[in-house]
């Protein structure tokens, strides 16, 4: 049975063809390609029985009314923007699976005791303006208008790009929702990690989205960096769910027979528990200082970014688990290392996520892949979840 997945996978491929760069998938915030992809999604939403349109910041929003118009809504969705040279499932799978589920309800003539809204968020990745989560923050009412001054690589400001797109910077505040309009936000997403594949499981339920601490580090003077990288590896192996990455490393002068005199690198520490992350950051920075003191080299640590972890609401994850179990799959609980729109919305509404296994754990890469069977079982679990959804206030 691939009744939901065949449409989802066809639409995934259609969106993957809408790219700023020929031969690879790049579709960033407020480009002509963003517009075209959004228009295609709006068309599919309308086919599924939803009222759909772009909002003032470029999110695609579709609404399927419940038994009477204007009811609070179960929110579903993910993002439609990509990184450069992206995979085709990251973000899009969540939006298209949600539309397929609504289409199935419409096909059966089913109206639920709540509305459903599906979001195709405009700017989760932040690849064009280094912004990230702009669309979901606008919905949550936490979009920072100063972001409109951010410029892309060609010097175009976000505000100008938004006007050119047909959006309205002055109306972004009106995009923000009130808490009582939403019952929950549930995002289906590919795992972007290898856990489900390693366990032989197609679906997982997310317990929390990891918090992250990111630093730019510079060591001036001979050597010292190798010890640092080993320190990060050793410290992060001490706690389960703690991930440390030195993703960028440059050494100057960069000659094979010269010990580098200046080394710059990035440090990214993530954990589902904020206390675990902070303790690791403290230990690593202290260890770094000790190494640099011992070696007589100069250390400069610049914090870049820090955000706390986002817990998924237990009352929602319990319902996601039941929906997964109903597919004959044992639900595997796991944290999300990567960030998602759910983080931005969690300040407004309780959130939950379900993960679909991806091949080799690869994401942000053209090799990103999922199977038709997993797409089907993911969408079927989401549909089961929607049909059985019990809002928090309605529970005993």
Summarize as ranges the residues that interact with Zn ion (CB under 5 A).
90-91
The secondary element (H helix, E strand) that includes residue 76 is strand 73-79
- Could you tell me which residues are beta bridge partners of residue 218? 264, 300
Nearest to 119 by CA among 138, 105, 132: 138
Q: How far is the CB of 192 from Zn ion (least distance, A)?
A: 7
CB closer to Zn ion out of 90 and 374? 90
CB closer to Zn ion out of 205 and 285? 205
Q: How far is the CB of 78 from Zn ion (least distance, A)?
A: 6
Could you tell me the CA-to-CA distances from 104 to 67, 98, 108, 117, 392 in Å, in that order?
Answer: 16, 10, 6, 15, 24
CB closer to Zn ion out of 279 and 338? 338
Q: How far is the CB of 30 from Zn ion (least distance, A)?
A: 18
CB closer to Zn ion out of 91 and 135? 91
Do the beta carbons of residue 9 and residue 100 sit within 8 Å? Answer: no
Give every CB contact of residue 275 below 8 A, 6+ residues apart in sequence.
none
Q: How far is the CB of 89 from Zn ion (least distance, A)?
A: 9
Q: Burial level of 94, CB count in 10 A (0-12/13-18/19+)?
A: buried
CB closer to Zn ion out of 105 and 354? 354
Sign of CA dihedral 139, 144, 146, 147: negative
Query: Cα 51 to chain center, whole Å?
Result: 25
CB closer to Zn ion out of 13 and 149? 13
CB closer to Zn ion out of 188 and 323? 188
Q: How far is the CB of 363 from Zn ion (least distance, A)?
A: 8
| Secondary structure in 3-state letters for 264-277 | EEEEEEEECCHHHH
Q: How far is the CB of 246 from Zn ion (least distance, A)?
A: 23
- Distance between CA 342 and CA 47 in Å, rounded? 26
How many other C-beta atoms can be found within 10 angstroms of the C-beta atom of residue 210?
25
Q: How far is the CB of 352 from Zn ion (least distance, A)?
A: 16
Do the beta carbons of residue 185 and residue 317 sit within 8 Å? Answer: no
- Could you tell me which residues are beta bridge partners of residue 216? 266, 302
CB closer to Zn ion out of 91 and 159? 91
Q: What values do phi and psi take at 206, rounded to 5?
A: -85, 130
Q: How far is the CB of 248 from Zn ion (least distance, A)?
A: 21
């Amino acid at each position: 049975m691939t009744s939901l997945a065949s449409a989802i996978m066809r639409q995934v491929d259609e969106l993957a063809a809408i790219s700023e760069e020929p031969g690879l998938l790049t579709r960033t915030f407020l480009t002509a390609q963003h517009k075209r992809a959004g228009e295609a999604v709006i068309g599919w939403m309308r086919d599924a029985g939803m009222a759909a349109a772009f909002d003032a910041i470029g999110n695609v929003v579709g609404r399927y009314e419940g038994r009477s118009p204007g009811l609070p809504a179960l929110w579903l969705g993910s993002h439609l923007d990509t990184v450069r040279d992206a995979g085709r499932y990251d973000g899009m799978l969540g939006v298209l699976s949600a539309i397929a589920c609504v289409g199935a309800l419409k096909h059966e003539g089913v109206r639920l005791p709540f509305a459903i809204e599906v979001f195709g968020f405009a700017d989760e990745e932040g690849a064009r303006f280094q912004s990230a989560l702009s669309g979901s923050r606008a919905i949550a009412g936490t979009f920072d208008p100063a972001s409109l001054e951010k410029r892309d690589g060609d010097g175009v400001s976000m505000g100008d790009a938004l006007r050119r797109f047909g959006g309205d910077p002055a109306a972004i505040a009106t995009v923000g929702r009130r808490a009582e309009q939403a019952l929950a936000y549930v995002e289906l997403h590919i795992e972007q990690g290898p856990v489900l594949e390693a366990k032989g499981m197609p679906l997982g339920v997310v317990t929390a989205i990891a918090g992250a601490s990111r630093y730019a580090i510079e060591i001036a003077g001979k050597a010292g960096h190798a010890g640092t990288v080993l320190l990060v590896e050793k410290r992060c192996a001490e706690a389960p769910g703690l991930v440390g990455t030195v993703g960028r490393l440059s050494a100057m002068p960069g000659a094979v027979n010269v010990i580098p005199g200046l080394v710059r690198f990035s440090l990214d520490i993530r954990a589902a528990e904020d206390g675990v992350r902070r303790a690791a950051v403290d230990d690593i920075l202290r260890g770094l200082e000790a190494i640099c003191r011992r070696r007589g080299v100069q250390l400069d640590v610049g914090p870049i970014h820090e955000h706390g972890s986002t817990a998924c609401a237990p009352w929602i994850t319990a319902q996601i688990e039941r929906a997964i179990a109903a597919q004959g799959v044992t639900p595997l609980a796991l944290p999300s290392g990567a960030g998602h729109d759910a983080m931005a919305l969690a300040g407004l509404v309780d959130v939950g996520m379900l993960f679909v296994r991806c091949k080799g754990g690869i994401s942000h890469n053209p090799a990103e892949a999922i199977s038709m069977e997993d797409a089907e079982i993911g969408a079927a679990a989401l549909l089961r979840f929607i049909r059985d959804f019990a809002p928090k206030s309605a529970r005993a």
